[in-house]
Amino acid sequence: MTPLELATSNGARLQNAHAGAALAIRGMTVSYGQKPAVFSVDMSVPVGSMTAIIGPNGAGKSTLLKAALGVIKPLAGTATVFGQPVADARARIAYVPQRASVDWDFPTRVLDVVLMGLYRELGLLGRLRGTHKAKAMDCLARVGMQDFASRQIGQLSGGQQQRVFLARALAQNADLYLLDEPFAGVDAATEKAIIDVLKSLRAEGKTVVAVHHDLSTVADYFDRVFLINTTRVAEGTVEEAFTPQTLQEAYGGRLATGQLGQTALGA
Amino acid sequence: MLWHALTLQLGYNATLVTLGAMLLGVAAGVTGTFLFLRKRALVSDAISHATLPGVGMAFIIMVALGGDGRSLIGLMLGSAASAWIGLLCIGALTRRTRLAEDAAIGAVLSVFFGIGIVFLTFIQTMSEGRQAGLEGFLLGSTAGMLYSDAMIIAVGGALVLAAVIAFRRPLSAVAFDPEFAASSGLNVPRLDLIMMGLVMAITVVGLKIVGLILIVALLIIPAVTARFWSERVTGVLWVAGVVGGVAGYVGAALSAIAPALPTGPVIVLVLFAMFALSLLFAPARGVLAAVLKHLSFQKRVHIRQGLLALAQGQPIYEKLTLRLLQRAGFARADGVATTDGKARAAKALRDETRWQMARSREEFALAATFYDGLTEIEGVLTRDQINELDRLIGAPRGVPV
């Protein structure tokens, strides 16, 4: 067991582990109606790591992220980012919501979407200047979308939309990147472009947490895993937490044993 | 007379009212754009109908306090209070029960309007106060408007417009992506409340001119019309402001020469004319443009399919295909290819063969996403890449490279 794992099972040392964490969630419970979607979840993401949140459909993966961000109000629980309450650490957080959560016929261009990542910096009455546009163009270039800057967003393919969302998060210039299913329904070229950007973020010392659904790429893309099925099932490095046993526990009968053996390490 | 009205030559008061209505129209168009983008257009209908009990109550209270009940400010305050209660009811019904917002809107709208009509009917039986003209709040009227009334409307419209412009960035961020907006620290419920508050202010300010039944038109139709002309929020805001301003101006001017005609319906008719023109003739999103685009696409598909059939020596069964090929000079009436047609057919087949090869090879995966059966591969790949494809295809079947 790593010190971090020991700490999470030990109340006294929990405090210490959380102090050094990029994202620390404690006792998070979210419920839609009477049924909890996330129940009493603890999570601790070390600085500079790349974590995949995985679990079956309806396991509360996206809900956990949104509750941590304060996008939805949890029934109980707290989240801190670099030791601060989330509300005080907004400037250090970037978020990529699910692509399907917005209307892509909205009257806006690709560059305008990326500029939304700079609104906090701009404030209510700040003027949009050439430097802001240059910054937004840089972010588009990092995801290979610079040629699409003046396109209407409705004309983009799914993969291109996802890249624009990532560019907007890059514009936020944060230390912690939270992504909700960034690889869902995208083409192979986009998947590669996104993972390259995420790995370059980690190389810069940033922390990345992504809700992920493709078990076959977990070990290639991420160094840590958080398995959830309403409650926390396992958390740790890929070697520790991404095993046939933990997957069986999280997915139950929903994964064929053969599939478990192929995807998980140590089988 | 019409010309005089439109060029503001009907006297000081009529001019002021017309300009006030124009300013109100601009403010309503701009405010309504955010409502439209947030997909909450119908809430404004509930807000406006919910003003009626307040108008009645304010009249009764003012008469009870010894006035004649006609102070526009007093009636506005009353309507704002009851509109706010209506808004809170919709919020509570949506959050605390399992009712969807559309059901909550329907319930609140009809109940408040019903209560308001009961108040108005009761007021007609009162012996005190000057109730004549109160029904002008239903459909709008500029008749008998005072200088002070026009000033209230103009200043109110200008204030709302300034507020909306100040909040344009957070409001559009929330309209496009509320989750992202919340994650970046914007208070989404509060911004929604600010937007609703501004819509309510427009409704209350415009009550006298447009009337509560039709004010929703002045909030929503400019935005819907503007959407045909622009693909950017800023553009939609500008066009919506102009459309709303024109409607307010023309509506008030016409109603100055025809006082019997309620202003609201005139404004709606002007709005409808602009909407209909946009729907039909807007360059990118209009109906006519869509039909033309579809026809030209259909023609390209048929010609391509026809050429491929000719190249492979297959008969052409579809009459439209044959007619289009004939018109382009690629085939004769009996379906036999002309010399020109044979050359084009061979070229089409070669293009299609290259596409098939490109789509079957992983190294061309990115290019393959451009395949739509119509785009020529020479516009997508470089000369070298095409040479590579031809090498992979091997000896082309009877097609000179």
For residue B93, what pLDDT is reported?
93
Strand partners, A44: A24
The reply to whether residue A95 touches residue B169, judged by beta carbons under 8 angstroms, is no
- Is B39 touching A (CB cutoff 8 A)? yes
Q: B227 pLDDT exceeds 70?
A: yes
Q: pLDDT confidence of A2, banded at 50, 70, 90? A: low
Reply yes or no on whether the pLDDT at B80 is more than 70.
yes
Q: Band the pLDDT of A7: cuts 50, 70, 90.
A: very low
pLDDT of res. B260:
81
d(CA B118, CA B108) in angstroms, rounded, equals: 15
For residue B360, the model assigns a pLDDT of 85
**CA nearest neighbour of B237 among B186, B310, B161:** B161
Q: Mean of the pLDDT values across residues B171-187?
A: 94
pLDDT digits (tens, 9 = 90+) for A17-55: 555 799 999 999 999 878 889 999 999 999 999 999 999
SS (H, E, C) chain A: CCHHHHHHCCHHHHHHHHHCEEEEEEEEEEEECCEEEEEEEEEEEECCCEEEEECCCCCCHHHHHHHHHCCCCCCEEEEEECCEEHHHCHHHEEEECCHHHCCCCCCCEHHHHHHHHHHHHHCCCCCCCHHHHHHHHHHHHHCCCHHHCCCEHHHCCHHHHHHHHHHHHHHCCCCEEEEECCCCCCCHHHHHHHHHHHHHHHHCCCEEEEECCCHHHHHHHCCEEEEEECEEEEEEEHHHHCCHHHHHHHHHHHCCHHHHHHHCCCC
Interface of A with B in 67-86 (CB under 8 A): 69-71
Nearest to B31, CA basis, from B43, B19, B20: B43
Rounded Cα gap, residues B148 and B10, in angstroms: 18
What number is the average pLDDT over the span B318-329?
88
User: How confident is the model at residue B79, as a pLDDT?
Assistant: 95
Residue B331 DSSP one-character state: B
Per-residue pLDDT at A8: 47
pLDDT at A259: 53
Q: CB under 8 Å to B269, separation ≥6 — which residues?
A: none
Token code pair at residue A201: 């973020």
With 0-12 / 13-18 / 19 or more C-beta atoms within 10 angstroms meaning exposed / middle / buried, residue B276 is: exposed
Partner-chain contact B365 A188, CB within 8 Å: yes
Interface ipTM: 0.87
Residue B401 confidence (pLDDT): 44
Local structure of B54: helix, strand or coil: helix
User: What is the average pLDDT value for chain A, to the nearest integer?
Assistant: 86
pLDDT at A14 over 50: no
Tokens of A213: 């659904």
Q: Nearest CB to B176: which of A70, A106, A124?
A: A106
Is residue A136 predicted with pLDDT exceeding 50?
Answer: yes
Overall residue count recorded for chain B in this entry? 401
What number of CA atoms fall less than 13 Å from residue B215's CA on the CB side? 34
Q: Is B337 helix (H, G, I), strand (E, B) or coil?
A: strand
Indicate whether B100 pLDDT > 60: yes
Contact B173 A189 (CB under 8 A): no
| pLDDT at site A263 | 55
Residue A164 reports pLDDT greater than 80: yes
Task: Give the gyration radius of chain B's Cα atoms.
Answer: 31
Q: Which candidate from B39, B182, B231 shows the least CB-CB separation from A152?
A: B231
| B125 contact partners, CB below 8 Å, separation of at least 6 | none
Q: Give the pLDDT of residue A267.
A: 39
> Considering only residues 146 to 205 of chain A, which have any Cβ-Cβ distance to chain B shorter than 8 Å?
152, 157, 168, 172, 178, 187-189
Q: Indicate the pLDDT class of residue B137, thresholds 50, 70 and 90.
A: confident
- Interhelix angle for B233-257 vs B263-281, to 10°? 140
Best CA proximity match to B219, nearest among B48, B401, B12, B13: B48
Nearest residue of B to residue A65, measured between CA atoms: B183
Q: Over 80: is that where the pLDDT of B133 sits?
A: no
Residue A217 has pLDDT above 80, yes or no: yes
Cα–Cα dist B314/B320, whole Å: 16
For chain B, say whether A40 makes contact (Cβ under 8 Å): no
CB contact under 8 A, B37 and A87: no
pLDDT surpassing 80 at residue A265: no
Look at residues B213, B42, B248 and name the one whose alpha carbon lies nearest to residue B135: B213
Work out the mean pLDDT of chain B and round it to a whole number. Answer: 89
- The residue assigned the tokens 């004309």 is A155
User: What does the block give as tokens for B115?
Assistant: 């209560």
Beta pairing partners, A143: none
Q: Grade residue A253 by pLDDT with cuts at 50, 70 and 90.
A: low
Task: Give A52-68 pLDDT, tens digit per residue.
Answer: 999 998 889 999 999 99
pLDDT, one tens digit per residue, over B339-384 is: 888 899 999 999 998 898 888 887 787 777 778 888 888 888 888 8
Residues of A in contact with B179 (CB under 8 A): 66, 71, 95, 97, 101
At B315 the three-state DSSP class reads coil
Single-letter residue type at B211: G
Residue ranges and CATH numbers for the domains of chain B are 2-282 (1.10.3470.10), 288-393 (no CATH)
Q: Is B190 at the interface with chain A, CB within 8 A?
A: no
A115 close to A134: Cβ distance less than 8 angstroms: no
pLDDT at A225: 94
Contacts of A120 (CB under 8 A, 6+ apart): A90, A91, A172, B184, B185
Q: How far apart are CA B177 and CA A165, in angstroms?
A: 11
Structure tokens at B37: 């983008």
Q: How confident is the model at residue B32 (pLDDT cuts 50, 70, 90)?
A: very high
Does the pLDDT value for residue B220 go beyond 70? yes
Q: Which residues, in sequence order, are CB contacts of B65 under 8 Å at separation 6+?
A: none
Domain boundaries, chain A: 3-241
Assigned CATH topology for domain A3-241: Rossmann fold (3.40.50)
**Any residues with CB less than 8 A from the CB of B99 and at least 6 apart, and which?**
B93, B107
Task: Give the number of A-B residue pairs with CB atoms closer than 8 Å.
Answer: 74
d(CA A111, CA A151): 8
Q: What value does the mean pLDDT take over residues B68-76?
A: 87
* CA–CA dist A85, B363 (Å, integer): 48
The mean pLDDT of A144-157, rounded to a whole number, is: 92
Provide the shortest C-alpha distance from residue A100 to chain B (in Å): 11
Q: How much is the CA Rg of chain A, to the nearest whole Å?
A: 19
**Under a CB-based contact definition with an 8 Å cutoff, are residues B349 and B399 in contact?**
yes
d(CA B160, CA B27): 6
CA B88 to chain centre: 26
Closest residue in chain B to residue A70, using alpha carbons only: B183
Say if residue B250's pLDDT is above 80: yes
**CA-to-CA distance for B218 and B203, rounded, in angstroms?**
9
Contacts of B236 in chain A (CB under 8 A): 107
Nearest residue on chain B to A110, judged by CA atoms? Answer: B232
The letter for the amino acid at A156 is L
Q: How far is Cα B130 from Cα B115, in angstroms, rounded to an integer?
A: 21
Query: Number of C-alpha atoms within 13 angstroms, CB side, residue A247?
Result: 24
Which of B198, B189, B201 is closest to B167 using CA atoms?
B198
Tell me the pLDDT tens digit for each residue of B268-310: 999 999 999 999 999 988 999 999 999 999 999 999 999 999 8
**Higher pLDDT pick, A227 / A8:** A227
Within 13 Å, how many C-alpha atoms sit on residue B62's CB side? 22
CA–CA distance from B227 to each of A105, A188, B26, B177, B359 (Å)? 10, 34, 16, 18, 38
Side chain identity at residue B255, one-letter code: S
Residue A261, pLDDT > 80, answer no
**At how many degrees (to 10) do helices B52-64 and B72-96 cross?**
140
Determine the residue type at A189: A
Q: Would you state the pLDDT for residue A262?
A: 52
